[in-house]
């Protein structure tokens, strides 16, 4: 479930909170684009018109709106370095018991390779 909330600062179009059965996520890609499209369809007016700024627990995310195509840059990592068992369990538990196992580094990096 993703909730769109009124914006706090002037430079943010709206605040987004994402919840799973295991708790709140600081960021997720699919809700980023889905909420931006729904917000635009429901008369949202970004400032300026070619980008939408969302506020997450992980920070600000800018969604570019170019000719009906939405895109964004992944925000900085919330966690960096080796995962301990607690981090891995919280990340996998948030998705529910039916999830396919992932490599631990994919969960927190979105599949990106480390720098």
28-78 residue pLDDT tens: 888 999 999 998 888 777 777 788 999 888 888 999 988 878 998 877 766
* Cα–Cα distance, 31 to 101 (Å, whole number): 21
Q: What is the pLDDT of residue 111?
A: 45
Q: What is the pLDDT of residue 112?
A: 45
Q: What is the pLDDT of residue 80?
A: 63
DSSP structure string for 3-62: EEE--SSTT-SEEEEEEETTEEES--HHHHHHHHHHHHHTT---SSTTEEEEEETTEEEE
Q: Is 2 helix (H, G, I), strand (E, B) or coil?
A: strand
Q: What is the pLDDT of residue 114?
A: 43
List, for residues 66-114, the tens digit of each pLDDT value: 887 899 887 776 666 666 777 667 666 666 655 555 554 444 444 444 4
For the whole model, what pTM was predicted? 0.62
Half-sphere CA count of 82, side-chain side, radius 13 A = 2
Classify residue 98 by burial, with Cβ atoms within 10 Å: 0-12, 13-18, 19+.
exposed
């Amino acid at each position: 479930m993703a909730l769109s909330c009124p914006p706090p600062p002037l430079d943010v179009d709206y605040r987004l909170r994402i919840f799973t059965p295991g708790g709140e996520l600081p960021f997720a890609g699919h809700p980023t684009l889905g909420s931006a499209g729904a917000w635009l369809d429901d008369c949202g007016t970004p400032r300026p018109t070619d980008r939408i700024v969302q506020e997450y627990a992980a920070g600000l995310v800018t969604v570019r709106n170019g000719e009906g195509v939405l895109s964004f840059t992944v925000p900085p990592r919330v966690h960096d370095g080796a995962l301990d068992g607690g981090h891995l369990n919280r990340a996998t538990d948030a998705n529910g018991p039916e999830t396919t196992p992932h490599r631990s580094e994919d969960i927190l990096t979105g599949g990106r390779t480390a720098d």
